Amino acid sequence: MYIYAALLLAFMLGPLLIVVPMSLTSGTSLTFPTPGYSWRWFRELADDPRWLSSFVNSVLIASSVTLLSSVLGIPAAMALAWTKFPGKRVIYAIIAAPLVVPVVIVGVAAFSFFSALGMVGNKLSIILTHTALAVPVMLTTVMASLSNFDRTLVRAAASLGAGPLLIFFRVVLPLIAPGVVSGAIIAFIISFDEVVVASFLSTGEERTLPRMIFSGVRESISPAIASAAVLLVLFSAILLILIGWLQSRTSKSRAS
Amino acid sequence: MLALPLILFVLVVFLWPVARFLALSVDNSDLSDNLTRTVASLDGWNPAQGLPGEDTFVALVDDLARARRAGRDGLVGQLINQRLVGTRFLVIKTAKDAAAGKFDQRPLREAVLAAYPGWSDVSLWRTIALQRSAYTDYYLLASLDLQRAPDGSIEKAPADKAVFLEILWRTVWISFVVTMICAVVALPLAQAIVSAPPVRSRILFALVLFPLWVSLLVRTVIWIIVLQKNGPINSALLAVGLTDHPLSLVYTRFSLYIAMVQVLLPMMVLSLVSVMRRIPASYMRAALSLGASWLTAWRRVQLPLVMPGLLSGAAIVFVFALGYYITPTLVGGPTDQMISSYIAFYTNKTLNWGMAAALSVQLLLILAASAILFWTAAALLRRSAATS
């Protein structure tokens, strides 16, 4: 049984590990075993203005998506978790629709919509569409942390004369912060990794990092692409550790 | 109330664009609006009569001149060309001359035919005569390898256009195979995770789920790197002596299955483990102590209890696989492309919105049908579990 699990893990994780030495090649093409090791392809990434600007674009877009999905998602999560009203399931279905529709259809539909508005090749169009994809996840994460929230705290704060905004920022937000941060990180990753919508909506200057990799792979696979892939794997690992740490912190604070 | 901004946002930025795009699958207004007079003058004409008369040519020149002045001539040419290949430049050039007033001598019919003999093709007139309505079933029929016969009945499309049923079937088949492989491979793995001691179980589970955090694109790209001619797999095969020349592993159905299984397997494991964790280990122990062999006990006791998880995992994997675009596009060969790649192709390469939208409608219908199928299967399973 363990041998089987080990073999499968090698299949699942092996490729992610083996590109690390391959990306450190000193040669001009991707081969394994590598002729020698160097940082040249990582330096190439840092020196090439196209890779650099695509990284900056991705960070800018993903940050805006995180912000926008928090602003839209947190109030909606509170409304959906705390109040009962007719048609709630319909509202869930509307908000979750972006998770169900295949992403190519989302991309092509967004392309058709935003080109009619003259907004293709504009960061805003990508931010808006990515937010639609990220917001359902944000909503679920925040709602999960709200489900353990003791609502008498809100009533107590209100009885002491606090207004709704003060209650939200001083009482509610600090208590659900770990859920909000997890949701924000996931929203960031969804946008940062997204390639299909970006490939329809981003052109030239506005290319995102995944879009760069995608079009690069279709031409030829240089070690620079392997290096970019390794950086993205490391990035995911760091964020995963961050979320794990956040969750262990919440479970500890609940236990105490 | 607080949910209102989000609902409005999703409606405006997501649902409206998708609905608007899907509506393009039946939209014919670009043709019917720009060819109004021509189509009207063809009322009562039928192809058996041969070429239409002078008044139709007058209407055509008038329509095309207007389209040209409105900047719609290219679009009209493109849309007619989609229905009858090779007519695009005929339409665009005629429109240019019509707008420039080059057809001023009567009879117009002879002038147009002398300048552009292409208009003596009766099937072109038949195509134009069909553009009466602002709605068309042309794209939806084409996406099922069907077309309208001259008499209006539905018939099979000619072999060179009848490619779509094969693409739809291929999409379903690839998704089915991937789901089956995932199910067979994930069952023992999930069992290993659940039966391991707590710490080891948690580590195993985390390792299996880690790939979910790496972007789909990166995992796909990595498979191209690993499977390519100079990649590690080929190097290993050469070193061991299993082959004496590098194999073409990538851009094949094989590499597509490998990559898709690696990408989707964690979902299946996740679904299985969450169900298996709720099954008391004492059930298996009881079966074993009553003398059943391990395999019999697993098959008769554990498997039926795992079925709901297997079913929901299969539903997730299958539905995800149906819509896959990045992985087939990058790792598959030309004959391994799934429906999503064609939706992108008709949008990017030929700007054929109608076809892209019709294929999207088919994809959504397949998705809905499989969702209903899985949902029914799960309901039947619950009922049989409740009655037994």
- pLDDT tens, position by position, B277-296: 888 888 888 888 888 888 88
Three-state SS letters, B191-219: HHHHHCCHHHHHHHHHHHHHHHHCCHHHH
Give the separation between CA A50 and CA B64, rounded to whole angstroms.
44
Of B12, B2, B8, give the one whose Cα is nearest residue A76.
B2
Q: What is the pLDDT of residues A95-147, one digit of tens each?
A: 888 888 999 999 999 999 998 888 887 889 999 999 999 999 999 889 888 88
Cβ(A186)–Cβ(A137) under 8 Å?
yes
List beta partners, residue B155.
B147
Give the separation between CA A254 and CA B165, rounded to whole angstroms.
56
Of A31, A43, A200, give the one whose Cα is nearest residue A108.
A200
- Among A12, A19, A106, the residue with its CB nearest the CB of B208 is A12
Q: Is A127 on the interface with B (CB under 8 A)?
A: no
B10/A132 Cβ within 8 A = yes
Q: What is the mean pLDDT of residues B173-180?
A: 96
pLDDT of residue A255: 55
- When mean pLDDT is compared across A55-59, B207-211, B230-234, B317-321, the lowest value belongs to B230-234
Cβ(B253)–Cβ(B171) under 8 Å?
no
Residues of B in contact with A214 (CB under 8 A): 217, 326, 330
Q: Is A104 on the interface with B (CB under 8 A)?
A: yes
Structure tokens at B85: 């290949």
Can the peptide bond before residue A33 be classed as cis, meaning omega within 30 degrees of 0?
Answer: yes
B3/A102 Cβ within 8 A = no
pLDDT above 80 (res A250) = no
Q: What is the pLDDT of residues A29-85, one digit of tens each?
A: 777 777 778 877 788 888 888 888 888 889 999 999 999 999 999 999 888 888 888
pLDDT of residue A92: 86
pLDDT of residue A81: 84
Q: What is the pLDDT of residues B324-333, one digit of tens each?
A: 999 999 888 8
Helix segments in chain A, DSSP class H: 2-23, 40-47, 49-82, 88-100, 103-116, 123-146, 152-159, 164-167, 173-193, 196-201, 209-219, 223-255
Backbone angles phi, psi at B43, to 5 degrees: -60, 125
**Percent of chain A whose pLDDT exceeds 90:** 20
For an interface test with B, which of A12, A119, A131, A172 has the most B Cβ atoms less than 10 Å from its Cβ?
A12
Cβ(B136)–Cβ(B28) under 8 Å?
yes
- pTM, entire model: 0.89
* Mean residue pLDDT across chain B: 88
Structure tokens at B25: 């699958």
- 3-state SS class at A179: helix
Give the separation between CA A45 and CA A230, rounded to whole angstroms.
12
Residue B86 pLDDT grade (very low, low, confident, very high; cuts 50, 70, 90): confident
Residue A252 pLDDT grade (very low, low, confident, very high; cuts 50, 70, 90): low
pLDDT above 60 (res A256) = no
**Cβ under 8 Å to B: A residues 11-40:** 11-13, 15-16, 18-19, 22, 29-33
Q: What is the mean pLDDT of residues B238-259?
A: 83
**Cβ under 8 Å to B: A residues 68-87:** 72-73, 75-76, 78-80
Of B322, B318, B320, B338, give the one whose Cα is nearest residue B330.
B338
Q: What is the pLDDT of residues A198-245, one digit of tens each?
A: 989 887 777 888 888 888 887 777 888 888 888 888 887 888 888 888
Q: Is A193 on the interface with B (CB under 8 A)?
A: yes
Q: What is the pLDDT of residues A165-195, one digit of tens each?
A: 888 888 888 888 888 888 899 899 899 989 9
Q: To the nearest 10°, the Cα dihedral for B157, B162, B165, B167?
A: -160
* Amino acid, single-letter form, for residue B375: W
pLDDT of residue B388: 64
A5/B204 Cβ within 8 A = yes
Does A30 or B121 have the greater pLDDT score? B121
CA distance A231 to chain B (A): 10
pLDDT of residue A101: 92
pLDDT of residue B129: 86
Of B128, B122, B152, B139, give the one whose Cα is nearest residue B27.
B139
- What is the total residue count of chain B? 388
**Percent of chain B whose pLDDT exceeds 90:** 32
Q: Is B251 exposed, middle or buried (0-12, 13-18, 19+ CB in 10 A)?
A: middle
